[in-house]
Amino acid sequence: MTHITVSGVAGMPEVAPGDDIALLLAEAAPALEDGDILVVTSKIVSKAEGRIRRSGAGEAWNGGGAPPHDHPPAPAGDATAAGRGAPPRDSRTAAIEEETQRVVARRGDTVIAQTRHGFVMAAAGVDASNTAPGTVLLLPEDPDASASRIRRGLRDRLGVRVGVIVSDTFGRPWRHGLTDVAIGASGVRPLDDLRGGADAYGNPLNATVVALADEIAAAGDLAKGKLSGVPVAVVRGLGGLVTGEDGPGGRALVRPADEDMFRYGSADVVFARRTIREFSGREVDPAAVRRAVAAAIAAPAPHHTTPWRFVLLETPRARTELLDAMRDAWIADLRSDGFSEESIARRIRRGDVLRNAPYLAVPCLVMDGSHTYGDERRNAAEREMFVVATGAGVQNFLVQLAVEGLGSAWVSSTMFCREVVREVLGLPGDWDPMGAVAVGHPAAPPKDRPPRDAADFYVTR
């Protein structure tokens, strides 16, 4: 049985910008042994690297003189919801914006954001605890590199082969409370991939990858604590996890976006919908499209009606027959309008996004439950209400496809040849095709959207 001990490193001084953490550790823990793993809280790494911001929006404190005291200390309170202390608001806001790559969720003043490192955490890792009043700490620029520097410094000064983990506090979805995880690592095997093995009963392990570095970070925090002033712990007894090389580091623990089933938070799920025009050859899971239909029919509609119908074209034959018939109808229309053959060919190529997609859906409007009035103005308004409701359903459909990891492009072409679409697909006469949706796995990441300022699109009265 492996015997593991976890002990805090006492006696370390307050860390300031420019300090050498390896030197401070060598003086505080000269009895380190080969195979030890040090868990170093990211706060002292951030301080040593000058990752400190004061109340002046985004200004750095470089360590000259005393830390600024522009604001009184933040009052004590429950920091669990945000996972952070409560720094001066202007400093906190500027620092979070500086560190945020994307906002995942927001509720009141609590922001869950992805950092440039790929971490998804409260306040983008900006922390106001264990730092001078009026200042906040940012995460280290490169936690893996920070861990490597500490490791090399200890080897040079003490001649020991150790592993180093830089840890920080994370909240967790679906669980109360905070725990420390590894945001950087050097000389430590971060993951233990057990896939392909079997458990004690012979059952195959198909998805078991153990986050060793996170487990060690959490164990180290038991010895460090949040209020004890002990920023480093030594874990002894896991020498088999210490490697000769720096290794893949903490970045190996960050799940790639295309493997993240929970990537989209409440703040960015709508923006996940993008128009995708090039698809890979991967097949589309029909069940995913059906889940998108379920989201579509959750849209609002007038008179408690259900005006949405979706025709799902899951076979190549069905898609080809529809697109060929639509192409012929479109060519006939363009010729009757006097377009040249060259211009017609160019316009027809715009429909390639539908032809190249591995899956098509045709949303249709039905007017079941609509009211008939005595004048055309009110009847026209009635139809407009149903068209708007169908559009809301299509938007839900597109957003859910994005949540499912699928790309899509809504193309309006069926609206120009509705009779042809109804005939080819064998639809009832009261089903009104409202475009077609190309569905598939994106062949490449979408391009950045052109910037839009919401203020350009509303007026107030």
What domains, with CATH codes, occur in the chain? 5-259 (3.30.1330.100), 270-440 (3.40.109.10)
Query: DSSP states of 313-350 as a string?
Result: E-SHHHHHHHHHHHHHHHHHHHHHTT--HHHHHHHHGG
What share of the chain in percent tops pLDDT 90? 68
How far from 170 is each of 176, 233, 328, CA to CA, in Å? 11, 18, 58
* Cα–Cα separations (whole angstroms), residue 19 to 12, 44, 53, 421: 12, 9, 17, 72
Instruction: Give CA–CA dist 386/379, Å, rounded.
Output: 11
Q: How far is CA 408 from the centre of its chain?
A: 19
Q: How far apart are CA 403 and CA 405, in angstroms?
A: 5
> What residues form DSSP beta bridges with 111?
106
CB atoms within 10 A of CB 212: 20
Q: Tell me which range, 125-129, 165-169, 336-340, 411-415, is most confidently predicted by mean pLDDT.
A: 165-169
Tokens, residue 184: 């950087």
In this prediction, residues 271-290 reach a mean pLDDT of 93
Q: Is 189 left (phi over 0), alpha (psi -120 to 50) or beta?
A: beta
Residue with tokens 């967790």: 172
| Lowest-confidence segment of 70-79, 218-227, 247-256 by average pLDDT | 70-79
Rounded to an integer, what distance in angstroms lies between the CA atom of residue 99 and that of residue 22?
Answer: 26
Residue with tokens 């983008």: 124
Q: Which residues pair with 393 in a beta bridge?
A: none
Question: What SS3 class is residue 397?
Answer: helix
* Phi then psi dihedrals of residue 189, to 5 deg: -75, 115
Residue tagged 């900006």 (tokens): 126
pLDDT tens sequence across 339-392: 999 998 888 887 789 999 999 999 999 999 999 999 999 999 999 999 999 999
| CB distance 140 to 76 below 8 Å | no
> pLDDT above 70 covers what percent of the chain?
92
Compute the average pLDDT of residues 193-198. 82
